[in-house]
Structure 1
């Protein structure tokens, strides 16, 4: 055995020894922990085996393959599908760039997201949409690489940070203008997963700044402003989202003059934005209370105005402290968009229900629901991991 082989053997033994010590210290350091580890591993192995066997052996995915357009787009006109892809590419590119600038992707994250992408592509591979979605994946990968490239290049990183911030601010207006403008598609024809994405995007894009304004208003010393913000927050939070959606869908149109009548989906978007804003306001208000009062007093002593103190000192620290709670609220909103199925809108869930209710696919509920669940999980998982990377970069939870 030569010197190189000896060194490789030593490295392998060292890795095995470290893994053995870690397992003994964390998984088998006592009778109770050992039993819990064995039970957890057995249960995880059984679940993985059952799911894998179902996906590759037992399931019949024809119902998803035939109805994929119904699940993804609902009643959206086929000739107008081109309007969807530029905003989607923009989102995928910004997502990859943000992820690359924040941190290096772990193998576990890439494996999970890669599996989800491959699974979705399996149902789009035979269509033009598969090529377009694959192009978006390539854009996301390239943007991630560019973000990683900027780690050691401060000037490039500064420019990319500006592009990313401006891009996230513009993506929602760009999508709405492209989809509805220039003879585009009316909201009544939006459907499938596209409707869920637009509802969540509008709810987050409008609800987040609205919630910050409500939080600042509630913390204000002006009685009228404080009372107005408090009333909106407490009234909105006093009812469940589904109740407010039913009011927007069936009750509100009866009180609106015909000249101001809007599409039911637009009314629902307004309600979702207001509902999200009310919860975001309370989350941000908790962050405002966590900021040390001494910093405000020090800023006042330096002669900074109220606006500068709030925008540049108090608010950044407050939002930084509540990022985990804000992301949890966003993920909850993303999943709550399935409530629109109860209002008669054709979102991804109701599109799936329509698919397995077809006579040719009776009894295919599991396949459809697993596929729809994967779609929602992939987005929620991506938001969660991006949030964790963001927290790590900002040092949240580190003392």
Structure 2
């Protein structure tokens, strides 16, 4: 038996487990699922709905699914579940679009290099982080030449870049480029210089008042009318520019909200220390404003990534476009559920990852939001 009367020196008392009455799965369920008559009713209804939905969904998606077939008719001969054979047959197009098959290793290598470039950005304890960040800054140029060609690599037309690769390229480029631009627009909107403030306000309000699809139409058609005759302006590049400025306008408003939440005394304290405007913004104001703005910024990024599917309307073939093209094939007609579920899974993985990292970052920076 443990001697509970034993005395310990200050700071040497061992950590004891919490009382059983306040810890464990039963306590958690009682607190979160059965804490009131309303919560009990909602929990029971939810369990009943899951009982109705989950077994049938698993039966359709896995147990009765067909993974190897040459057409929809062959799938139906083997079972009545999901026909994932379509995804298997068209997987290359889903992921790479019309990128030359013998060069797809470059896209795979690009994905690996991209993940390596993210490590020092997302993980501040990465070894040799300062040197690693140099590689992260150089990655956009490495990625461009690896994807498009040049410097000894076989050139590939950007029109052949498609599938989920196109969604990722547009989404990542828009996210990386719109954040610094959005911060500058937010600072410009709060500037004491009337011309700068007016220009930023006009830009933000105009872009936020126009649907993204309208900007994409401008990028794909009308922009050519303003260019000199014979000038070629790559369509993918035009889309990247439009997506970036569209996202930057929304980021600017999110950051502006964070800036307005910072007490004026923070700026006055920075001025009292002799810091110049950009020094006070970089060292005092912006770090606090960006911490507050994390949920809104990530929400904008998630929306931007999902909006990359709109490029199908201007003739670019992303993952959703590949799926629609597959459904137009007489051999695979009628398999819309499989196409859209698979596409949704691809986007969910990326968007859920961004969301979870946002939660991790909020906890790490102590934004004050209790979870």
Normalised TM-score (structure 2): 0.84
Q: Which runs of 4+ in 1 moved over 4 A?
A: 13-17, 94-99, 163-168
Q: Does 1:35 align with 2:41?
A: yes
Q: Does 1:217 align with 2:188?
A: yes
**In structure 2, what is the Cα distance between the partners aligned to 1:223 and 1:235?**
18
CA contact 1:321–1:396 (8 Å) conserved in 2: yes
Aligned length: 333
Q: CA deviation at 1:204?
A: 0.8
Q: CA deviation at 1:340?
A: 0.7
CA contact 2:117–2:139 (8 Å) conserved in 1: no
**In structure 1, what is the Cα distance between the partners aligned to 2:229 and 2:178?**
27
Q: Does 1:230 align with 2:201?
A: yes
**In structure 2, what is the Cα distance between the partners aligned to 1:51 and 1:311?**
51
CA contact 1:87–1:171 (8 Å) conserved in 2: no
Partner of 2:167: 196
Q: Does 1:70 align with 2:76?
A: no
Q: CA deviation at 1:92?
A: 3.1
Pair 1:315–1:279, CA change in 2 (3 A): same
Spell out the pairing of 1:289-368 with structure 2 (5 A cutoff). Answer: 289-368=260-339
Pair 1:229–1:350, CA change in 2 (3 A): same
After superposition, what is the alpha-carbon deviation per residue over 1:82-114, rounded to whole angstroms, capped at 9, x for unaligned? 221222112334556777x48xxxxxxxxxxxx
Q: Does 1:26 align with 2:49?
A: no
Q: Which has the larger radius of gyration?
A: 2
CA contact 2:163–2:319 (8 Å) conserved in 1: yes
Partner of 2:222: 251
Q: Does 1:388 align with 2:359?
A: yes
Q: CA deviation at 1:163?
A: 5.4
> How large is the Cα RMSD of the aligned pairs?
2.3
CA contact 2:110–2:143 (8 Å) conserved in 1: yes
Q: Does 1:208 align with 2:176?
A: no
**In structure 2, what is the Cα distance between the partners aligned to 1:385 and 1:79?**
36
Q: CA deviation at 1:211?
A: 0.7
CA contact 1:291–1:314 (8 Å) conserved in 2: yes
SS of the counterpart of 1:299?
helix
Pair 1:390–1:164, CA change in 2 (3 A): farther
Q: 2:141 aligns with which of 173, 182, 203?
A: 173
Normalised TM-score (structure 1): 0.78
Higher RCO, Cα 8 Å, sep 6+: 1
Question: Is the helix fraction higher in 1 or 2?
Answer: 1
Pair 1:168–1:50, CA change in 2 (3 A): farther
Q: CA deviation at 1:16?
A: 11
SS of the counterpart of 1:346?
coil
Partner of 2:72: none
**In structure 2, what is the Cα distance between the partners aligned to 1:243 and 1:313?**
38
**In structure 2, what is the Cα distance between the partners aligned to 1:234 and 1:158?**
40
SS of the counterpart of 2:51?
helix
CA contact 2:21–2:27 (8 Å) conserved in 1: no
Q: CA deviation at 1:19?
A: 2.4
Pair 1:55–1:163, CA change in 2 (3 A): farther
Q: CA deviation at 1:259?
A: 5.2
Q: Does 1:84 align with 2:104?
A: no
SS of the counterpart of 2:305?
helix
**In structure 2, what is the Cα distance between the partners aligned to 1:323 and 1:188?**
35
Q: CA deviation at 1:45?
A: 3.5
CA contact 1:191–1:346 (8 Å) conserved in 2: yes
Pair 1:45–1:299, CA change in 2 (3 A): same
Pair 1:396–1:17, CA change in 2 (3 A): closer
Structure 1 unaligned runs (5+)? 1-10, 103-156
